[in-house]
Amino acid sequence: MHIDNLFFEPVHEGYCKVLTVKFGNEVIGYACPNYDRNKEIKPFSAVYINGNTIGDFFSINETLRFLFNYHMDFQMFLTMRKETVAVADDLLNNASQCVGLH
């Protein structure tokens, strides 16, 4: 899978182990070494922008792909939530108008 506009760079020049992952100009998370017990099997961790570790992975490519998919799924959730709230508001407004007419 090829993702255009997905970039990564060290968080700091002097500390290259933690990578900032960007989609376009937006930071979507971080890739860093895994320090948990399973670090021998899955040496990389994905950290979302809120600071939560969201998974451990075998390769850096797998980590980057997961961060991208996680971010896109979260953005889709936010969009669906906004649309649902808008529909609910419309239904409430229509219901209140109908009640006012009787």
Q: What is the pLDDT of residues 50-73, one digit of tens each?
A: 889 999 999 988 998 889 888 888
φ/ψ of 61, rounded to 5, equals -65, -40
Whether the predicted pLDDT of 32 surpasses 50: yes
pLDDT-derived band at 14, boundaries 50, 70, 90: confident
pLDDT digits 0-9 by tens, 86-97 = 777 777 777 655
Q: Kind of pairing, strands 44-48 and 26-33?
A: antiparallel
How far apart are alpha carbons 98 and 95 in whole angstroms?
A: 5
Taking 50 as the threshold, does the pLDDT of residue 102 lie above it? no
